[in-house]
Each structure stands twice: as structure tokens, then as C-alpha cells.
Amino acid sequence: MLSVKQELLAALAAELEKLSPGAGARAAFESPKVAAHGDWACTAAMQLAKALKTNPRQLGEQLQTALLATNAWQRWVEAIEIAGPGFLNIRLKPAAKQQVLREVLHSRERFGHQADRGEKILVEFVSANPTGPLHVGHGRQAALGDAICNLYATQGWSVHREFYYNDAGVQIDTLTKSTQLRAQGVKPGDADWPEAAYNGDYIQDIADAFLARATVTADDRAFTANGDVQDYDNVRQFAVAYLRNEQDKDLQAFNLTFDEYYLESSLYANGHVEATVARLVANGKTYEKDGALWLKSTDYGDDKDRVMRKSDGHYTYFVPDVAYHIQKFQRGYTKAVNIQGTDHHGTIARVRAGLQAADVGIPQGYPDYVLHTMVRVVKGGEEVKISKRAGSYVTLRDLIEWTSKDAVRFFLLSRKPDTEYTFDVDLAIAQNNDNPVYYVQYAHARICSVLRGWREDFDIGALVDADLSPLDTPAAQALMLQLAKYPDMLASAASSNAPHDVTFYLRELAASYHSYYDAERILVDDEAVKTARVALVAATRQVLENGLALLGVSAPQRM
């Protein structure tokens, strides 16, 4: 129905231009708040009335007459009704709604996708320093990042997935010392065990592997231990490689891969941090005070100026972030999205201020940020806070092992990122309609069962040119209208970095299918009616599969 909508919008834009030059840009359709009012609504008459100094209802009637005289509206529109102060409520002919089935069956997995726009986007997410297993907060980031990447890909972007981390610094130093002590036989609770050390059992696992002179391989590095507990740097490199390998296992359990792992330390090694600082100084955007170097970030909307280089000569953490984002832009990524916890909120203003102060052509508002809250885990009605393996938190792998990859992904995407979320383990494994991922997957499996009853291989190629005229009942038309919403939903979800919109849509589509299934028998004796209804449910199955794939969730054919 996308082609129908574009045809009708073009005709509407042309008529609006006749009423007022430039008004064609207002051509748009909305979904009525009450389904009984029509299939689409148009508020253009109300928007134009004031500028044209005319009554909006009279303008609506004028627009109604003009539209019904066009070929496109005569072909696809059954009626236009004037409501209230000038709303146009539009009722489509069944043939218009049936067009969506041809589009789905022809495009299949690319239904709703836009053409290549020739632009690159970098999405940075997870970005966990290798100091321990990935926790459920990282899992929320992983689900968000992967789904957002998939959404941008549907809109024609060339998408790059990047994992940014540091293999040096205070946290890595703590990891190294903790591993070194465990290898020497010191453990949590001993007098010599530091209060700041990492206590999880995984530290002992690293120490044992180090003493065994093991070799570990991760996606971006490999290292062999020499077993010498006094060799601090060897312990450090091995511990980092070991935990990067552990992170890879977590990500593999999540069916997630990255295009690139980018080291914070490389920004120093390659001179990018020093070059960035030198540029900011040369641009007159810094000043010295109390032995520190400050950025004039208030010039760019920050609530106060920020320290760049402390009196001890070390840079504060946002300085390499500025250098990193300059590198992102110079690598050709005209758009960048960072997915981080809400505790990074203060980073936004100072990074953007640094980028503008550097004056290298980066647009204001670069990069975009998606901030998410942490996740509470409830099991057996009680909150779970500690994992024996991690020592202080529930790991992503714990959650996957307790439930499934599909449940974890769908559940973590089922709310807006910045809202608090409680992951209910018992609900995630329940096989009933209260479990949202089960509800959607069951709709898909139910359709597959129907299609196998039609043809064992259910090849839908024969349905592309089927006669769809029997699909004129209210139940069938309601399901087709739901399918037609999918492309606009994708575009809106991508532009808003809102993959939760996909989960909402899939639940609504599954509900629409279940209602249709209850209203009409599909495999009837009448061959023409049966073929048309099979085409409808086959298209529904395809869109359910497409939406689940965007979320990284499987679409089982049997349940």
C-alpha cells in the first residue's frame, strides 16, 4: 500500500499547492484515533485556513471536491468525510488495502526498506572495558545497539558497529593487581587483599589460566601467558585478552558481532589526543587556571567550563572522547550514535562543546546519544543482585542461560531505553500470552502451520499475482491496514532511535492476526477465497519474521 499512499499524497500535494504555493509540503496522512472514523485522516484544511483567512470546514469541503476529481483518489478512495472543524476522514477501497500484500510478497525481507542513501553511520555500543563479565546493563546496550543498527540499515544507511574500550588505566590496573594476587595465592578476605580489588570467581579463573601459560584469543587480540606472576605487563596483557575472550563468548551467545574494536589507548599512541588539545588551544578555546587547562565549554551551552588537563598532567576522561569523535567524523561517518548508560549524561554537553570548539566542520548535535537505565532482574518473585561468577552483579550470560537469547533481546527492547525496566525471568520462560516474545513467535508458528496445510513447502511465489478481491471483509481489511503501517513504523523508529516501537508493532500485528484467525477460516473449499486468504497470512508471516529479525529474535516455524 506504500505505492498507493505515495500516489494519493502526490495528488493531495498538488491540490494544496493550488490553494497556497508551498502548502504541498503539508501533505500528510494520520491514523485516526478512532478506527471507525476511517483509514486515514488529513488535517491540511485546518492548518491552511488561518493563512487563507477562510473557514476550515469550508476549505475542507473545497479540498474534498478537488481530491475526488483526481484520478488517483477516484481509483483508490471510497469516500472522504468531513468531520469537526475540517478533518478529512478517508476511507480506502478494498483494492487499495490489498496492494500491501503484493508489496510484501514481492519485496519479502526487504519490505519497507529504503534505497541506498550513500551515507555512513557509526553506532558505538557495549564498549565495556575488559575488567569483568558483561552484566545485564551491557545486555540492554547490546540489544539496543544491534536493533538500532538494523533499523538504520532499512533506511539505506551504510552501518558500522563499533566497540570502544581501554586496555590501560585505573580499572585495568585494578584487574591486573587482582589477578596477580590471586596467582600468588591471596584471595578476598585475606589481610593482604585490597578493598578496591575485584572479588568475582572469574579473577581466580584468569589467574589459574595465567599460571598454566594458556593462550587466549579474542576477536581483536591474542596472547600467551608466560606464567611469571612478577611480570606485571604480561599479567595485564593476558588478563585483558582473557576477558575480551569472555566478552566475545557473551556476545556470541547473543548472536552479536562488531565490525571494529577501537582502543582508547590508540588515540594517545597515534597522537590524536595531543593534536586535539593543540587545536583547541590554538583556537583560543582554552585557558590556564589553578595549574589546570580548562575548556571554555560554557561558550557552547555547557553549565560550566570543564577541566581538560589536571594539575598532575593527566587528561580528564572527556578529552580522548573529543579526539575519538573527531576521528569518527574524519573517517567519513556523517552520523554517529552512542549508546551509553544514563550515568554518562554529563558527557554529552562537554563532548559536543569540544567538537564545536575544535572547528573541524562537525555539525552541531554530533554525535547522537541514546541513554539507557540499568535493569533489575527478578526471579521467583525476588530481585537477583549477585552472580557468583561476577561477584557483584547478574551477567548477561546468566540471563541467557536462565531464559533464552530471544527472550533477553525482546524483553530488553520492550521499553524506551531511558525508562526503568524489571526483567522477570519467570515471565520470560512462560509459554502463554502474557509473555510478549512467546505471543509474537507463536503467531508466526501458527501461520506456518496454516501454510503447511496449504502446501508443505509453502512457496509463496505463486501468491504474488493472486486475485485478492475476496479480501473485502472487515477482519481482512483490518489486518491489511496493520501490515501497511510497517514501513512508516520503521522510518519513525530509525529516526527516533526507538527499537521499542518495533516490539509494540509486532505485538499489535500478532494480535491482529489472532483476531483474524478467530474470525475467518483460511483453508476453505472455495479455491479463490482460500488463495486470497493464504496470501494475506503469508504476508503477515513475512512481516512478523522481518520485524523479529530486526530485533535479533528468531521466527520459529513450530512451537
Q: How confident is the model at residue 391 (pLDDT cuts 50, 70, 90)?
A: low
Q: Give pLDDT, residue 68.
A: 94
- 1 has pLDDT over 80: no
List the chain domain ranges.
2-92, 170-256, 375-429, 433-551
DSSP calls for 429-457: H--STTSHHHHHHHHHHHHHHHHHHH-TT
Question: Could you give the dihedral angle defined by the CA atoms of residues 507, 513, 515 and 516, in that order, rounded to the nearest 10 degrees?
Answer: 160
Q: What are 31's three cell numbers?
A: 491514523
**Cβ burial, residue 69 (10 Å; 0-12/13-18/19+):** exposed
Question: pLDDT tens across 410-464, in order?
Answer: 999 999 999 999 999 999 999 999 999 999 999 999 999 999 999 888 778 789 8
45: left (phi over 0), alpha (psi -120 to 50) or beta: alpha
Question: Could you give the dihedral angle defined by the CA atoms of residues 541, 546, 551 and 556, in that order, rounded to the nearest 10 degrees?
Answer: 40
- If you classify domain 433-551 with CATH, what class do you get? mainly alpha
Q: What percentage of the chain exceeds 90 in pLDDT?
A: 87
- Return d(Cα 74, Cα 115) in angstroms, integer: 29
- Return d(Cα 212, Cα 203) in angstroms, integer: 14
Q: How confident is the model at residue 117 (pLDDT cuts 50, 70, 90)?
A: very high
**Alpha carbon of 481 to those of 169, 385, 403, 548: distances in Å?**
55, 44, 34, 19
User: Could you tell me if 527 and 470 are in contact, meaning their C-beta atoms sit under 8 angstroms apart?
Assistant: no
Question: pLDDT tens across 510-525, in order?
Answer: 999 999 999 999 999 9
CATH 3.30.1360.70 is held by the domain 2-92:
yes
